[in-house]
Homo-oligomer: A and B are copies of this chain.
């Protein structure tokens, strides 16, 4: 089954196939809305995920539906665009075709924007089951279930040592995701839950942020990172830097600090140590005749094209792109968005025979929230922290989210939770399988009385 060109009836002869509906792919599709091209956006999920707020789903502050927008709602009404729900299997670069299942799609230009959807355990993939990472809605629901189940299991636990273990939460990785998660878990334990239990006091919980380098938020300036640490400590988070994790099991974490070995007994370990592209990307790179780099990304030139196939662009976390100094661009939503816009415009202009300059990333600032009253924001010349930082963070994210499908409702909910300390999105996932599987009953997420 081969899809003929121009199935959207646009009258155009140029078909752009975009794979991936994250920040990069979606911005590319939007930038092509007035192009003389037929656009096909493929994703294996039927929604765009606003990843920067995923940690709020993982801690019960927001619903998954609050930070997702159906792709069909966002670009499905764009006249020259078709959304297809499926997974890319193969690139037949010489034939200019892609395969999804048994369907074959011709393309004139291909934009790969598949993102980094796997967690980077740096060779210790066995850690994944005991220290899940946070990148998808499914991840967020898993982490939410584990964290909330730990409090429930602690309430039922008679052994003080086990109770302590259940009430110890370790977040590994002091980048923005780790800092935001640790702040949110700290807030959950110290502000939201106290008063709701009888046998435990959630405020006795330990929330520990482990970072291998000598400070957190390495991408930010040192004074700002210090402010973040102060805000974290205010929420009861212990920040341990220079601490290299060397083992994670069901019952805790071992790490080395100052050449000494330490161990934290914990039933809830969360991995925020980094992400990488899916393992399957290596095959796609081969099909394009290039080698992916050691973290699995596909190298592109300064115009974001694959050198061997200039009709193939790679953007976002999947791309190994260099800036004007030859340094790799960071894996940030802002980079992906700008690359998506750039590629969309580039394709439009090229179709009109107009010249296009090389891609340049403009750093408009980076930020991270710590709990609901503090954030750090680095706009280069201006740096904000504490409450003013939080207001800046809120405004920027408000602006970004409204672009993707009118998510004003999210802000109503935030405002509400902000004033009430409430978190309503707190369902622990329940399945008959886990309830009846003895494998699960001695874990932190035990659905049974322990």
Assembly CA distance A63 to B68 (angstroms): 11
Instruction: Check A287 for interface membership: any CB of B closer than 8 A.
Output: no
Contact partners of A72 in chain B: CB under 8 A? 193, 196-197
Interface string of A417-438 (1 = CB under 8 A from B): 0001011111110110001000
Contact partners of A413 in chain B: CB under 8 A? 409
Q: In the complex, are the beta carbons of B426 and A8 less than 8 A apart? A: no
Instruction: Check A400 for interface membership: any CB of B closer than 8 A.
Output: no
Contact partners of A84 in chain B: CB under 8 A? 155-156, 449
Contact partners of A195 in chain B: CB under 8 A? 76-77
Instruction: Check A324 for interface membership: any CB of B closer than 8 A.
Output: no
A:34-81 near B, CB below 8 Å? 44-47, 63-66, 68-70, 72-73, 76-77
Q: Which of A96-104, A108-116, A236-244, A258-266 contacts B (4 or more CB under 8 A)?
A: A96-104
Assembly CA distance A7 to B441 (angstroms): 24
Contact partners of A435 in chain B: CB under 8 A? 44, 87
Instruction: Check A211 for interface membership: any CB of B closer than 8 A.
Output: no
Assembly CA distance A196 to B47 (angstroms): 13
Assembly CA distance A47 to B145 (angstroms): 12
Q: In the complex, are the beta carbons of A101 and B441 less than 8 A apart? A: yes
* A65-B427, A85-B155, A428-B45 as given contacts; A449 in contact with B412, CB under 8 Å: no
Contact partners of A198 in chain B: CB under 8 A? 7-9, 82
Q: Which label, helix, strand, loop or mixed, suits the secondary structure of the A interface?
A: loop
Name, among A77, A155, A197, A426, the residue most crowded by chain B CB atoms within 10 Å (CB to CB).
Answer: A426
Q: How far is the CB of A258 from chain B (nearest CB, A)?
A: 40
Number of interface residues of A (CB under 8 A): 68
Instruction: Check A199 for interface membership: any CB of B closer than 8 A.
Output: yes
Q: In the complex, are the beta carbons of B447 and A65 less than 8 A apart? A: no
Instruction: Check A363 for interface membership: any CB of B closer than 8 A.
Output: no
Residue of B nearest to A85 (CB): B152
Instruction: Check A191 for interface membership: any CB of B closer than 8 A.
Output: no
Q: In the complex, are the beta carbons of A65 and B63 less than 8 A apart? A: yes
Instruction: Check A86 for interface membership: any CB of B closer than 8 A.
Output: yes
Q: In the complex, are the beta carbons of A73 and B103 less than 8 A apart? A: no
* A66-B63, A82-B198 as given contacts; A428 in contact with B46, CB under 8 Å: yes
Q: In the complex, are the beta carbons of A156 and B427 less than 8 A apart? A: no
Q: In the complex, are the beta carbons of A77 and B44 less than 8 A apart? A: no
Instruction: Check A358 for interface membership: any CB of B closer than 8 A.
Output: no
Q: In the complex, are the beta carbons of A47 and B427 less than 8 A apart? A: yes
Assembly CA distance A426 to B64 (angstroms): 10
Assembly CA distance A155 to B196 (angstroms): 48
Given A47-B428, A101-B450, A406-B422, 7 further pairs, Cβ under 8 A: A65-B65, A69-B424, A70-B196, A85-B447, A102-B449, A102-B450, A406-B420
